[in-house]
Amino acid sequence: MSDQLPHRPNAVLFDWDNTLVDSWGTIQAALNMTFEEFDKPKWSLDETKQRVARSLRDSFPVLFGEDRWEAAKDSFYAHFRSIHLETLTPLTGAYDLLCALRENGTYIGVVSNKNGDFLRKEAEHLGWTPFFDRIVGATDAANDKPAADPVHMAMGDSSAPQYENLWFVGDSVVDIQCARNVGATAILIGDEITGHSDAQNSANLDPDWHFADCEALVRVVKTFTKVL
């Protein structure tokens, strides 16, 4: 990772959970209610952070087996739907970061492994939908992160130059893998990389840039505004 600051992006794609909003407690609660129904051990918050990164359609067949994962999916979604809006909390600095990027005229999108319907409802609930050019969630594209498909969907009809300096901002190994798969600059938000246990290959999974939180990144983005 270089000591120099990243260049002004043409486009920025964000992960959602625990990059822009704090949802670990909600995810853990919905998972543990599902685990209880299926006689599986509950996860601590730390276990949840390390084991949740890939989309449900990629992870649940492994967790619950091919014969039970769809029933477990329905159970999880029911539990999650009942609590996710009331517990939704923006991370400190996230709103200011989105404002600063929008003021720069930056193309902004979301690529998340959260169910697309839940994702868009949460963005609408926060009043953030106008910030984003595209919001892409799990199952919206042919394949989920870390595949390139949802990135291409999120970029939409964006011109090729926007790919030339594209940031992918997230908190997990899967986000870094996704950035690598599309040639984007991988920017990590938070104290640590989550989803280590889900990584198939630990090589080349260090981020290009690491910021403690959204507030730290927004200070960099505002320097771009000053020089334009």
Mean pLDDT of 99-111: 95
The per-residue pLDDT for 199 is: 46
pLDDT tens across 113-171, in order? 999 999 999 999 999 999 999 999 999 999 999 999 999 999 987 666 677 889 999 99
**C-alpha span between 158 and 152 (Å, rounded):** 9
Domains of the chain, first to last: 11-22+88-227 (3.40.50.1000), 24-83 (1.10.150)
Rg (CA), the chain: 17
Whether residue 38 has pLDDT greater than 80: yes
pLDDT tens across 196-223, in order? 544 444 556 889 999 999 999 999 999 8
Phi, psi angle pair for 227, to nearest 5°: -95, -5
**C-alpha span between 167 and 179 (Å, rounded):** 8
pLDDT tens across 177-203, in order? 999 999 999 999 987 776 554 444 455
Torsional sign, CA 190, 191, 194, 200: positive
Q: Which residue has the higher pLDDT, 47 or 228?
A: 47
The per-residue pLDDT for 130 is: 97
Looking at 16-20, 29-33, 144-148, 221-225, which range is the least confident one? 221-225
Interacting residues of 72 by C-beta distance below 8 A, sequence separation 6+: 34, 37, 38, 60, 63, 64
Q: Which residues of 49-62 are buried (b: 16+ CB within 10 A; e: fewer)?
A: bbbbbbbbbbbbbe
**pLDDT mean across residues, the chain:** 89
Phi, psi angle pair for 139, to nearest 5°: 75, 0
The per-residue pLDDT for 226 is: 58
The per-residue pLDDT for 228 is: 46
Cα–Cα distance list, 167 to 15, 70, 125, 164, 197 (Å): 11, 34, 25, 10, 24
Interacting residues of 87 by C-beta distance below 8 A, sequence separation 6+: 23, 25, 26
Instruction: Tell me whether the omega of the peptide bond preceding residue 146 falls within 30 degrees of 0, making it cis.
Output: yes
